[in-house]
Structure 1
C-alpha cells in the first residue's frame, strides 16, 4: 500500500509525464529496477529482501536530491542549528552534488 501511495504521490506532485521521464532516465535505471524488484518481492511474501531492494532503489533514485534536502533542513528552526554546526556542515559540503556510487 505504501509503495502505491509513494508512486501516486510522486506523480501527483510532478505530473505523470515527468514521473515516467524520471523513472526511465538512463542514470536512474538501476534504482528503478531495484525499487520495482523490491516491490515484487514484498508482494510475493518476501518482505525483508523486498524492503532492502526498495531502500537501495530509493537511495539511488533520489541521491541527487540530498543536497537540496540538506539546505532545506538547515533552514528549519532548532533542527537547522544542529545541521549548521561545523562538523555536520563540512560533511554536507564534502558530499554536495555527488551521486551514490552504484
Structure 2
C-alpha cells in the first residue's frame, strides 16, 4: 500500500512532499510512523476530565467499529517538565501510538 510521503524538513517540521503536480508516495513506514507519533488520539477521561480538552483526530470516528484510533498521547506531555517519569510516559505513549503495527 502506498501512502502520501510526509518527510521531515531541514526546519524540523514535517510536510507533505510533492513531485511535479502530484503528491510524492511512500511505501513502507516512512510516513506511517511520524503520522502515528504526531497525530493526537483522544485522551481517556482519567487523564483529561473535561471532554472538550481531550482532543483527538476527527478521522478516528471512522474506525470506532475497529476499536482502535490513529495517533498517540505524546501531546499530553507538551508542557511537562523533563523528568524520569516524563521520559517513561513518552516511551509508553510512543509505543502505544505504534500498537497498530502489531495488529496489522
Structure with more strand by fraction: 2
Same fold (TM over 0.5): no
- TM-score normalised to structure 1 length: 0.33
